[in-house]
Structure 1
Amino acid sequence: MLRWWLLALATLVLVAIAGFAALAWQPSLPPAALPVTAFDPSLVARGRDLALIGNCNTCHTQEGGKAYAGGKPIPTPFGTIHATNVTPDPETGIGQWSLTAFVRSMREGVDREGNHLYPAFPYDHYARVTDEDLAALYAFLMTRRAVRHEAPPPDLPFPLNQRPLLAGWKLLFLKAGSYRPDPARSVEWNRGAYLAEGLGHCGACHTPRNRLGAEIASEHYNGGEAENWWGPPLNASSPASVPWTEASLFNYLRDWDPKHGGAVGPMAPVSHNLSQVGESEVRAMATYLTALMGPPSGERLGRTEAIAARPDAAPDPRLAAGERIYAGACATCHASGGQVPYTVNSLAYHTTLFGPDPRNVIQAVLRGIRPPEGAAGAIMPGYAEMLTDGQVADLLDYLRARFSDAPPWTDLERKVREVREDIPPTSGSLGGAQVESTPDLRRGG
């Protein structure tokens, strides 16, 4: 009887292994030459807008590199993934990819050769995109300048560097099927949901992840992180001191809002890209996202105005050191009542000073702020070489107490040190990577 059970168990194990192997194996698709006939210009133009909404240029262009030629390191909790070359180069890019191969990669996370792709490439969102939009995106990428550039392999430990294991991740977390409109919602809301949940992949940064790196569905838009930045919640738990409206979020997503300021960090290139697409697309995204956050509260706005009107002097002697740093390094611009271009009336308007995570404020103080090259925007010097970890912590203690009614952050000096260690010596700015973009004709660019 024991031998029978052992034989049955061994059979089950072999069947399971064979089943997983069948699931993990993906066929290589035949190489395809670029179409002899040119792509329709209107299709390419549509693909251009979709690529901007998807922020494709930011991830697939390394600093100082050619547009879409890959190589940019994407840090993850498991190691570093390098973005691939998506120019039509036949050897190092996607020049031999058919539309079928491209669609498979976007929806199933499998490249032309049959290799599983790491979900740093957010195909769990792209799976929702329609056939028509994928065809337009394909046309746009296939009409970019071909660049021969081999992206470095992923820097991952064993066994995470074994791509077949990703089949198990997909089995657990990848849901097939394009976006289905909600008939109870408006056309604009559905359009915004389609863009935000699909190509925009907003949840990738604004939803917490589990230990396997997948978004936690039950905590949709409840706050996440990207590249050591905190992604604030985009649902009813948003700590924004000034309630978001459709108009203010539209302004923020495209450029600048007087009540909320402008995007920095990983969000800066997103905003820069969205400034170059049709306004109706961005308005639709703003409609969808503000609906998730709920109607604005007048009480919250009144509370923020009261905080902004407080006197600047620190009431607590323990905050005096931070108050002096603020007075010497920050007040010239931030105490101007919004008179300095691209500053809000008060730091009390900034969501991050009310949030549970201080990393965004630390990043701003250490790195500084400048807009993407060729764009107008906020400029702030970085203080990484002028302030010690303790001084930055003192400054943040003061800012939190002076410009919010939230409890103090804890263990700030350690958190400052960790963020500082993550900043390269020749770091750029909060404006994000300088990437190729289509000229913005509205600004004469």
Structure 2
Amino acid sequence: MRAFLRVAAPLLVLSAPAFGQGGPSPALIGRGRILATAADCVACHTVEGQPAFAGGKAIATPFGTIHAPNITPDRETGIGAWSDAEFLRALHDGVGRAGEQLYPAFPYVQYTRLSDADVLAIKAYLFSLPPVRRTAPANDMLFPFGYRPLLRVWKWINFTPGRFAPEPGRGGEYNRGRYLAEALGHCNECHTPRTLTQGLDMSRNLAGGIVEGWQAFNITPDPVSGIGRWSREDIVTYLSSGRLPGRAVAGGPMGEVVGHSLRFLPREDLSAIAAYLEGQKPLRNPGDTAPRSGYGRPDPDRLSFSLGGNGLPTGRGLYVAACASCHGLDGRGTASVPGRPGFPGLVGNSALGAARADNAVLAIIHGVPARGGRGESFMPAFGAASRIGNALDDAQIALVANYVRAQFGNAAGSPVDATSVRRLRLENGGRSPLVVGVWAGMALIAGLAILFAARLVRRRARGNGAERMP
């Protein structure tokens, strides 16, 4: 994996052609594999339990559900018939093989910065894989977003194509980290807030965003809202393992990024990403007064099982019954022993210190899967019936979330109720009524505006033609 430094750094990209006389070389394919891992292609283009890169995964967006395409070298259902130029145009310009505009769920806004050599190395790797004949389901887009030519307007507002250029006055490590984080890893896509048109608000770069209901937290070097109190070693530890004891555990989309991509990168590249993050402008989020990891205290009552006045378990009672065996009765976690991995503590966990408990609620619903390391712990999903027992309903999840927030995190944060849990379930599936309503309304306004403008242009054209008639 150390070869990654020689293939990802923009100033050190090899100038060898993508294909030699006998096809791509093993070195080029290996380089492409590493680049594809850093870009986390497998996360979007693979359905769990199905062949890698065969497509079909549903990606929820405010505009509808997009199904990632097959990118194996099958000539009919995949990309096996694509030329180098067509592959470059897709990643650099967001245009498909047939000339169709691609939805920006495919992060060509960031991939446009990749060098030609790196893009073609990724193509060489993908073409070395076994072809899989599998057609992805059709997209399910809200009207009128299924009409792809409208994406030209979105691109005009939000997309500037162009290759990566090193930032003057910055060292090689910073610029390598910038290439890894912005072009390949596309960190901005999740950790930067969106504008009204769903483009990236670069005035708040890396100050935090929302991805399928999950909060992608502020990762600027602000000491309160961001990671300004984290050391370089802290950042590397978190990126490589998804855990930083006493501060954070990666779940949801970030957990997938660690599991599929970051944990495979060499330490030098993770350190370069950390150097890039440390060099960003510190941005404070409104209302933040203390670091998210600065809240909470252990629960001193290690014995009682709490029941409410109606005889049903309270939030603490549910925690004792469902959570304490791993996270500890006092919330400090449990140490690893031979044959059993340890489990993280909840005191100081950044998800519980946030003003909103969205990530904590979604972690209870969906769990936190293991990253793939040997003997690694995981959190089961409590939002659906499984081998651990019956599912917790929305009201019970709210009780648990409120207890762990009040005891181990930010007690002053917004309370959780069954309605907010239900809302998060919908947002995580891409069908939040609020989001759908807002964007449907905007789509209607935009459509009427386009029709009005078109009619006005036609009338003027007819008037000018009449004036020129003899």
Aligned counterpart in structure 1 of residue 297 of structure 2, from 308, 318, 336: 308
Residues 299-338 of structure 1 aligned to structure 2 (within 5 Å): 304=294, 307-308=296-297, 311=300, 321-335=314-328, 336-338=332-334
Return 271-280 or 137-146, whichever deviates more: 271-280
**Separation in structure 1 between the aligned mates of residue 138 and residue 152 of structure 2, nearest angstrom:** 19
Q: Which residue of 2 aligns with 1:174?
A: 159
Q: Which residue of 2 aligns with 1:381?
A: 380
Return 55-64 or 116-125, whichever deviates more: 55-64
Q: Which amino acid aligns with 1:281?
A: D
Q: Which amino acid aligns with 1:269?
A: E
1:120 is aligned to 2:129: no
Q: What's the CA shift string for 1:63-100, capped at 9, x where partnerless? A: 23211111111110110111011111111111111111
**Separation in structure 2 between the aligned mates of residue 307 and residue 417 of structure 1, nearest angstrom:** 26
Q: Which residue of 1 aligns with 2:42?
A: 57
Q: Which residue of 1 aligns with 2:357?
A: 358
1:248 is aligned to 2:247: no
> Structure 2: which 5+ runs fail to align?
1-18, 284-288, 384-389, 430-470
1:218 is aligned to 2:203: yes
Distance 1:266 1:339, change over 3 A: same
Q: Which residue of 2 aligns with 1:104?
A: 89
Q: Which amino acid aligns with 1:288?
A: Y
Matched position secondary structure for 1:225: strand
Does structure 1 retain, via aligned residues, the 8 Å contact 2:333–2:346?
A: no
> What is the identity percentage for the equivalent residue pairs of Structure 1 and Structure 2?
37
Residues 240-279 of structure 1 aligned to structure 2 (within 5 Å): 243-255=229-241, 256-272=243-259, 273-279=261-267
**Separation in structure 1 between the aligned mates of residue 213 and residue 292 of structure 2, nearest angstrom:** 32
Say what the alpha-carbon RMSD is for the aligned residues.
3.1
Q: What's the CA shift string for 1:331-366, capped at 9, x where partnerless? A: 33223554143433x412311111133221112112
Does structure 2 retain, via aligned residues, the 8 Å contact 1:241–1:300?
A: no
Q: What's the CA shift string for 1:163-186, capped at 9, x where partnerless? A: 111111111111122222123222
Q: What's the CA shift string for 1:203-237, capped at 9, x where partnerless? A: 11111212322112222112112222221111227
Matched position secondary structure for 1:81: strand
Aligned counterpart in structure 2 of residue 396 of structure 1, from 401, 404, 407: 401
Does structure 1 retain, via aligned residues, the 8 Å contact 2:356–2:413?
A: no
TM-score, L = length of structure 1: 0.78
Q: Which amino acid aligns with 2:354?
A: G
Return 379-388 or 170-179, whichever deviates more: 379-388
Q: Which residue of 2 aligns with 1:347?
A: 346
Distance 1:267 1:376, change over 3 A: farther
> Structure 1: which 5+ runs fail to align?
1-33, 425-445
Q: Which amino acid aligns with 1:59?
A: C
**Separation in structure 2 between the aligned mates of residue 75 and residue 302 of structure 1, nearest angstrom:** 28
Moved over 6 A (4+): 299-303, 317-320
Distance 1:234 1:310, change over 3 A: same
Does structure 2 retain, via aligned residues, the 8 Å contact 1:308–1:403?
A: yes
Q: Which residue of 2 aligns with 1:25?
A: none
Q: Which residue of 1 aligns with 2:386?
A: none
Aligned counterpart in structure 2 of residue 138 of structure 1, from 110, 120, 123: 123
Q: Which residue of 2 aligns with 1:15?
A: none
Q: Which amino acid aligns with 2:36?
A: A
**Separation in structure 2 between the aligned mates of residue 387 and residue 51 of structure 1, nearest angstrom:** 38
Q: Which residue of 2 aligns with 1:31?
A: none
Q: What's the CA shift string for 1:348-400, capped at 9, x where partnerless? A: 23111111332211121122233155754322233223433222222222222
Distance 1:375 1:240, change over 3 A: farther
Matched position secondary structure for 2:92: helix
Matched position secondary structure for 2:65: strand
Q: Which residue of 1 aligns with 2:74?
A: 89
**Separation in structure 1 between the aligned mates of residue 145 and residue 426 of structure 2, nearest angstrom:** 25
Distance 1:376 1:228, change over 3 A: farther
Distance 1:408 1:101, change over 3 A: same
Q: How many residues align?
A: 385
Distance 1:422 1:168, change over 3 A: closer
Q: Which residue of 1 aligns with 2:276?
A: 288
Does structure 2 retain, via aligned residues, the 8 Å contact 1:241–1:349?
A: no
**Separation in structure 2 between the aligned mates of residue 416 and residue 42 of structure 1, nearest angstrom:** 49
Q: Which amino acid aligns with 2:408?
A: F
Q: Which residue of 1 aligns with 2:414?
A: 409
Q: What's the CA shift string for 1:303-348, capped at 9, x where partnerless? A: 83x843564589xx9999222322333233223554143433x412
**Separation in structure 2 between the aligned mates of residue 238 and residue 58 of structure 1, nearest angstrom:** 31
Distance 1:366 1:157, change over 3 A: closer
> Deviation at 1:422?
6.6
Q: Which amino acid aligns with 1:210?
A: T
Does structure 2 retain, via aligned residues, the 8 Å contact 1:224–1:231?
A: yes
Q: Which residue of 1 aligns with 2:11?
A: none
